[in-house]
Structure 1
């Protein structure tokens, strides 16, 4: 069985050719370029294949699942065949931009388009925090996992939105409003520290995804040779849905390093790492 329950959709062009849906439960792999190892990989096929054969001869081909990828072994000689993949049900895919929550159940997304795709490790009610620039008086409808909320642009970027009941191991799409450059998603009850870099400075932000006010301490560990104008902060009375932050100036050797704030705000504390470039 597939590890993740996908969504209806189509496959993008592949390095070896294309995957075409011929009918509800039949997929054709048109091989334009034979891979050197004679194995064709189709990423993100969430529907289990019934059998895989050459289209013209009906000869069975060796295949296997690798996570949610289908890997088919092509004949070593001859023209690359058209491969017929019979499915056990309607085609469902795992889009290439799908992101699985981390061990804390948190997603920290930098959107590359108008939609993101999330997968939860376990079912949970989550909240969403959008970061970006939108018109304060604009109107937005945020939909996730069958639930929706209407918010203004002012609310969109200044408070968490939710809760949304995200199911376990199932792809759920999230529309990303224009102007949003970062999306934080966390289980309800989480107090989350996140890092937001600027030019020679870093903003350390704590967001309360819980239902009661939060308090705690934040520290920013740094790699050897790095320094900061401030590295420790305390907060108290952070209301549900709200964020607070501190700006610190960084100095150190040029190059990227992954940083993570150390947050102590109770048992639901979480911290999202971020790669910072000096």
Structure 2
């Protein structure tokens, strides 16, 4: 069994050629460029192969699974063969943009204009927080894990939406409305700290993904040689689904640097790191 249960789909062009779905349970790998190590890697194949052979001769080829990738060893001499991959069921893939939740069960996503694909490490109920500029009078249907909520643009960017019952290790799509620039997804009950960059400052935001009001303390540690106009804040009575934020100016060496907020808000406290460019 693959580690992750994928979704129906097709493979993108590969560095070595292309993977073509010949039938529901049969893939053909057309090798246009032989890799130097004679190994062809097909990323994101969630369906377990039954056997892998040369298409014209039926000769068995050596293959292995590497996570959710299929790796096939090609003959070292002769023209690269067309490889026939018989599958143990209907083709399912893990899209290349699939994101697995971090150790806290949190996703921190920057939309790319296509549906995001999420994988939970364990089954859990989650809520979604959209951040961006959306017409407050617009209407949206937010679908995830077989559940749907209708919200206005005003609700979309002011509160968490959910719960959604995420199953374990299954790829699920989440369509992101236009105008959204960032998406936070966290288990219900989590109090999450995140960092949001601006033109001359960053904003530290705490979002309550729980069902009861939250309180706590927030600190933004900075590396040696850095400075911040403010680094410590407190909050109390943060309503379920809502967020609170504080702006601070930071200075430090030029380049990209990862910052992480320290949050004390009970046992379900979590913090999403963010790479800041100075």
TM-score, shorter chain, exceeding 0.5:
yes
Instruction: Note the C-alpha offset of 1:138.
Output: 0.2
Question: Paired residue for 1:170?
Answer: 170
The equivalent of 1:39 in structure 2 is 39
Looking at structure 1, the residues matched to 192 and 30 of structure 2 have their Cα atoms a distance apart, in angstroms, of 46
Residue in structure 2 matched with residue 132 of structure 1 by the alignment: 132
Residue equivalent to 1:48: 48
- Aligned-pair CA distance for 1:199: 2.1
Structure 2 equivalent of residue 148 of structure 1: 148
Give 1:114 deviation, angstroms.
2.6
Equivalent-residue separation in structure 1 for 2:179 and 2:16 (angstroms): 36
Shift of 1:129: 0.1
> Counterpart in 1 of 2:183?
183
**1:23 is the counterpart of 2:9:** no
- Give yes or no for contact 1:260–1:273 (8 Å, CA) kept in 2: yes
Where 2:3 maps in the other structure, the secondary structure is coil
Question: Who is 2:264 aligned against?
Answer: 264
Matching residue of 2:88: 88
Secondary structure class of the residue paired with 1:270: strand
Q: Distance in 1 between matches of 2:138 and 2:198?
A: 26
Please give the alpha-carbon distance, in whole angstroms, between the structure 1 residues aligned to 2:14 and 2:258. 32
Once the two structures are TM-superposed, the CA of residue 113 in structure 1 deviates from its matched residue by 1.9
Q: Deviations over 1:187-231 (max 9, x none)?
A: 000000000011231100000000000000000000111100000
- For the Cα contact (< 8 Å) 1:257–1:277, is it kept in 2? yes
Q: Which residue of 1 aligns with 2:248?
A: 248
SS at match of 2:112: coil
State the partner residue of 2:116.
116
Q: Distance in 2 between matches of 1:223 and 1:183?
A: 27
What count of residue pairs does the alignment treat as equivalent? 278
Query: 1:105 maps to what in 2?
Result: 105
Deviations 1:34-81 (A, max 9, x none): 000000000000000000000000000000000000000000011111
Residues in 1 aligned to 2:108 and 2:83: alpha-carbon distance in whole angstroms: 38
Report how far residue 20 of structure 1 moved.
Answer: 0.4
CA distance in 2, matches of 1:10, 1:77: 30
Instruction: Quote the Cα distance in structure 2 between the aligned partners of 1:19 and 1:252.
Output: 47
Q: Structure 2: any 5+ residue segments left out of the alignment?
A: none
TM-score (norm 1): 0.99
1:118-137 deviation per Cα after TM superposition (whole angstroms, max 9, x unaligned) = 00000000000000111000
Quote the RMSD (CA, aligned, Å). Answer: 0.5
Q: 2:185 is paired with a residue of what secondary structure?
A: strand
SS in 2 for 1:60: coil
SS at match of 1:52: strand
Where do 4+ consecutive residues of structure 1 move more than 6 Å? none
Tell me the CA shift for residue 111 of structure 1.
1.1
> Aligned equivalents of 1:223 and 1:34: distance in 2?
46
For residues 10 and 17 of structure 2, what CA distance do their matches in structure 1 show?
14
Q: Deviations over 1:150-177 (max 9, x none)?
A: 0000000010000000000000000010
1:214-268: per-residue Cα shift (whole Å, max 9, x none)?
0000000001111000000000000000000000001111011100000000000
Secondary structure in 2 matching 1:21 = strand
Relative to the length of structure 2, the TM-score reads 0.99
